[in-house]
């Protein structure tokens, strides 16, 4: 898949845009003032595979806590700032690697200039983050009072123009909406207008049942068209859950090479083993593998190995006996109760 050509810059140690891989980000939901709790969540996110973390900075105490958070965080930290430019300045002095701030909302040119000056000095990129709930009234009015894809784009471009006029170009843009078609359309439009990296997300996507599908469709559609440089899956709940979903979205499009891709058949009348239980066990036992490996878990040997020929290794159940196969060739026949164990042993051998 050909990716849209975007300009690139560093956000801490992570390259954004250009030929850099699509990065995964999330946001803490702890009270930022509580540095210890926030750091614990950042560490859990990092462990799960998150690459960039955003923290909200609603007040001076939170900006103070950033000093400790930034010093100890294993991930680049982005400060999420609304309205108060002092907080942006404090956050940058505290050591953040990125800012999310909309320059049109911080109260005038001199304030924007102060933020941009410091961001330039410290080589800190700025994300302009527009969402359908905060489109300015005059733009809403142009489109019958409702948020639209074009309204999101116009709203973002206003902020972009403010930064460009100050010769600032380390910009990322997000145009989030909980309305998936609107979000897709907005990103498609802006992707043709500017070459800034795009941060993709469906906002207020919901809990896991609703949010995973909405995010996969919204983010996945754009990525499949080559649009998108960094992604955030937003789910109501523990942000760590978002990371697994983000990885799966990227993996399903060939944009994430690490870890296990688990293929399993849907089961059918031929299935004589407890396949769902086996899949769960294998999934859990292999969740921490970092090397790329495709594992197939199939219900029967009639179609199993053939259907999963592209897998590196797999198993196919039978009646009492099952088989282990590698690249579609059967390498062992094993009693059913030893299938999972044998497969895991073989995987271990392959990885060492």
Told to check if 307 binds ligand SF4 by CB under 6 A, we report yes
Told to check if 1 binds ligand SF4 by CB under 6 A, we report no
Q: In what order do the strands lie in the sheet with 23-27?
A: 171-176, 126-131, 98-100, 77-80, 52-56, 23-27, 230-232, 199-200
* Contact stretch for ligand SF4 (CB under 6 A) within 48-56, 159-167, 261-269, 278-286: 261-269
Q: Decide if 65 contacts 34 (C-beta within 8 A).
A: yes
Query: Among residues 76 and 304, whose Cβ is nearest to ligand SF4?
Result: 304
Cβ-Cβ contacts under 8 Å for 191 (sequence gap 6 or more): 4, 198, 227
Interface characters, 118-157, with ligand SF4 (x: CB under 6 A): ----------------------------------------
Told to check if 270 binds ligand SF4 by CB under 6 A, we report yes
Q: Decide if 124 contacts 105 (C-beta within 8 A).
A: no
Told to check if 267 binds ligand SF4 by CB under 6 A, we report yes
| CA dihedral of residues 110, 113, 67, 232 (deg, nearest 10) | 120
Q: How far is Cα 141 from Cα 165, in angstroms, rounded to an integer? A: 26
Query: Among residues 20 and 303, whose Cβ is nearest to ligand SF4?
Result: 303
Q: How far is Cα 278 from Cα 299, in angstroms, rounded to an integer? A: 10
Told to check if 266 binds ligand SF4 by CB under 6 A, we report yes
Closest CA relative to residue 313, chosen from 257, 263, 259, 238:
263
Q: Which of 8, 20, 134, 271 binds ligand SF4 (CB under 6 A)?
A: 271
* Contact stretch for ligand SF4 (CB under 6 A) within 49-57, 122-130, 137-145, 262-270: 262-270
Neighbouring CB atoms inside 10 A of 193's CB total 12
Told to check if 304 binds ligand SF4 by CB under 6 A, we report yes
Closest CA relative to residue 44, chosen from 236, 247, 243, 206:
243
Told to check if 300 binds ligand SF4 by CB under 6 A, we report yes
Q: Which of 8, 105, 252, 303 binds ligand SF4 (CB under 6 A)?
A: 303
| Tokens matching residue 50 | 């998150």
Q: How far is Cα 173 from Cα 175, in angstroms, rounded to an integer? A: 7
Query: Among residues 108 and 269, whose Cβ is nearest to ligand SF4?
Result: 269
* Contact stretch for ligand SF4 (CB under 6 A) within 28-36, 164-172, 296-304, 344-352: 296-304
| Tokens matching residue 239 | 């942000």
Nearest-CB residue for ligand SF4: 299
* Contact stretch for ligand SF4 (CB under 6 A) within 14-22, 95-103, 186-194, 260-268: 260-268
Q: Which of 265, 295, 311, 313 binds ligand SF4 (CB under 6 A)?
A: 265
Binding site for ligand SF4 (CB under 6 A): 265-268, 270-271, 298-300, 302-304, 307
């Amino acid at each position: 898949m050909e990716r849209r050509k975007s300009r690139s810059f560093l956000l801490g140690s992570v390259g954004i845009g250009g030929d850099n891989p699509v990065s995964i980000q999330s946001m803490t939901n702890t009270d930022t003032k509580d540095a210890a709790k926030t750091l614990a969540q950042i560490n859990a996110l990092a462990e799960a595979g998150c690459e960039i973390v955003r923290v909200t900075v609603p007040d001076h105490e939170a900006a103070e806590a950033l000093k400790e958070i930034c010093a100890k965080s294993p991930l680049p930290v982005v400060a999420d700032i609304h309205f108060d430019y002092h907080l942006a300045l404090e956050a940058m002095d505290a050591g953040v690697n990125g800012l999310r701030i909309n320059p049109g909302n911080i109260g005038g040119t001199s304030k924007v200039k102060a933020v941009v000056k410091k961001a330039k000095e410290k080589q800190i990129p700025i994300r302009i983050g527009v969402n359908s709930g905060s489109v300015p009234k005059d733009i809403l009015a142009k489109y019958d009072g409702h948020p639209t894809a074009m309204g999101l784009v116009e709203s973002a471009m206003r902020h972009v123009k403010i930064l460009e006029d100050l010769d600032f170009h380390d910009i990322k843009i997000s145009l989030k909406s909980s309305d998936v078609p609107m979000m897709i359309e907005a990103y498609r439009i802006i992707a043709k207008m500017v070459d800034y990296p795009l941060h993709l997300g469906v906002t207020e996507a919901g809990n896991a049942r609703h949010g995973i599908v909405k995010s996969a469709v919204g983010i996945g559609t754009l990525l499949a068209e080559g649009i998108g440089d960094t992604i955030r899956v937003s789910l109501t709940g523990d942000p760590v859950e978002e990371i697994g979903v983000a990885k799966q979205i990227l993996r399903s499009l060939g944009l994430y090479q690490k870890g296990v891709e688990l293929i399993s058949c849907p089961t059918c009348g031929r299935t004589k083993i407890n396949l769902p239980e086996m899949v769960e066990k294998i999934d859990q036992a292999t969740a921490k593998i970092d090397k790329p490996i495709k594992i197939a878990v199939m219900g029967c040997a009639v179609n199993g190995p053939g259907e999963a020929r592209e897998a590196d290794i797999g198993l196919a159940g039978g009646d009492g006996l099952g088989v282990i196969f590698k690249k579609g060739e059967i390498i062992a026949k094993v009693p059913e109760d030893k299938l999972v164990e044998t497969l895991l042993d073989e995987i271990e051998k392959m990885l060492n």
